[in-house]
């Protein structure tokens, strides 16, 4: 499988969303930039902080012509609880079988308390209106990350 790299087309996908819809990357073609962020788990401290940071900057992202989409392997029920608990204003996509996460190269072996487990490595992609990956942040540190992504999107 080809690696996802900046300057190349983003892999297409369609996933069920916390909004009750099925969302495809192609839905935004010609309309919006897409901030596609992959995160490990709903309701965990780092993932909650990241989601709330994107939520808090939602109007600024919209003003910059971008939509935010969060992706994890959690199911829709978990996404709905997470959305409701933290008043999230953007869709969370359920990648239960990790096919999309694998396609984007973010589903990896991780070391959790000395055990090897498979899971999502926190990663953010900015995809432009033409479906091209413009920026990738790998092994994201949550602190100020949403601000950095917003600054990048504003300059697209």
**pLDDT tens readout for residues 41-67:** 999 999 999 999 999 999 999 999 999
Alpha helices of 36-144 — where are they, by DSSP H? 45-56, 58-63, 76-86, 99-103
Q: Which of 72, 55, 62 is nearest to 32 (CA)?
A: 62
Decide: 113 and 125 in contact? Cβ < 8 Å: no
Residue 115: band (very low, low, confident or very high) from pLDDT cuts 50, 70, 90: confident
- 1 within some domain: no
Decide: 70 and 91 in contact? Cβ < 8 Å: yes
Q: Is the pLDDT of residue 145 over 90?
A: yes
Write down the number of H helices and E strands in the chain: 5, 9
Our answer to whether residue 52 is catalytic in this structure is: no
CATH number at residue 49: 3.40.30.10
- 95 within some domain: yes
Q: Is the pLDDT of residue 112 over 80?
A: no
| pLDDT mean over 14-40 | 97
- 99 within some domain: yes
Decide: 43 and 82 in contact? Cβ < 8 Å: yes
- 137 within some domain: yes
Decide: 121 and 139 in contact? Cβ < 8 Å: yes
- 12 within some domain: no
- 21 within some domain: no
What range defines the domain where residue 36 resides?
Answer: 32-154
Residue 1: band (very low, low, confident or very high) from pLDDT cuts 50, 70, 90: low
- 25 within some domain: no
Q: Which of 36, 47, 64, 150 is catalytic?
A: 47
pLDDT digits (tens, 9 = 90+) for 61-86: 999 999 999 999 999 999 999 999 99
Strand partners, 38: 71, 123
Residue 2 confidence (pLDDT):
60
How high does pLDDT run on average in the chain?
95
Least confident of 15-19, 117-121, 134-138: 117-121
| pLDDT mean over 78-106 | 97
Residue 50 confidence (pLDDT):
97
Q: How many domains, in total, are found in the chain?
A: 1
């Amino acid at each position: 499988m080809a690696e996802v790299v900046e300057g190349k087309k983003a892999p297409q996908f369609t996933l069920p969303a916390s909004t009750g819809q099925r969302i495809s990357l192609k839905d935004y073609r010609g309309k919006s930039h897409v901030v596609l962020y992959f995160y490990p788990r709903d309701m965990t401290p780092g993932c909650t902080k990241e989601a709330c940071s994107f939520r808090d900057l939602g109007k600024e992202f919209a003003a910059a012509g971008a939509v935010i989409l969060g992706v994890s392997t959690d199911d829709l029920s978990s996404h709905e609880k997470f959305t409701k608990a933290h008043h999230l204003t953007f869709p969370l996509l359920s990648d239960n079988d990790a096919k999309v996460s694998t396609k984007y190269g973010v589903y990896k072996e991780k070391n959790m308390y000395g055990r090897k487990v498979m899971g999502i490595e926190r990663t953010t992609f900015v995809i432009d209106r033409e479906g091209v990956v413009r920026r990738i942040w790998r092994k994201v540190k949550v602190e100020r990350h949403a601000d950095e992504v917003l600054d990048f999107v504003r300059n697209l």
